[in-house]
Amino acid sequence: MHLIQILAALILFAVASQALPKDVSQQQSVVEYARQEYEQAAAEHKADAEQVAGTEKALESLKKRLLQERKKAIMSERKKQQAKARLDRAQEALDQAWKQ
């Protein structure tokens, strides 16, 4: 019985050792495919992250520009109102001069 177990073990070892290279080769292929997929995903992520950073930088620049333009618009509105007030006073003075 002991001899039969040894023979069975040797047969299993022989079969396993023949199957092992095939399995290892398949696993190496799977690993290589997964590595390529990871590298592609990592490169895509890096490009996307750089795009996000660039967009955020551009957005901050646009926010500053918008703030400056709003301040300029407020100042020009005040200037317009002051000019309108001077125009109204001048027109009123002219109207008074014509009435006299």
Residue type for position 94: L
What's the predicted TM-score (pTM) here? 0.55
Residue 7 belongs to some domain of the structure:
no
Cα(98)–Cα(95) distance, integer angstroms: 5
* Residue with token string 């957005």: 59
Using only the alpha carbons of the chain, give its radius of gyration: 42
Structural domain contains residue 24:
no
Residue 54 domain flag: yes
The answer to whether position 73 is within a domain reads: yes
Position 8 in a domain: no
Is the four-CA dihedral 90, 91, 92, 98 of positive or negative sign?
positive
If one counts the domains in the chain, the total is 1
- The one-digit pLDDT tens for each residue of the chain (100 residues) are 566 776 666 666 665 555 555 678 888 888 998 999 999 999 999 999 999 999 999 999 999 999 999 999 999 999 999 999 999 999 999 999 998 8
In a domain, 97, yes or no: yes
Q: Which domain holds residue 79?
A: 34-100
Whether residue 4 lies inside any domain: the answer is no
Q: Is residue 2 part of a domain?
A: no
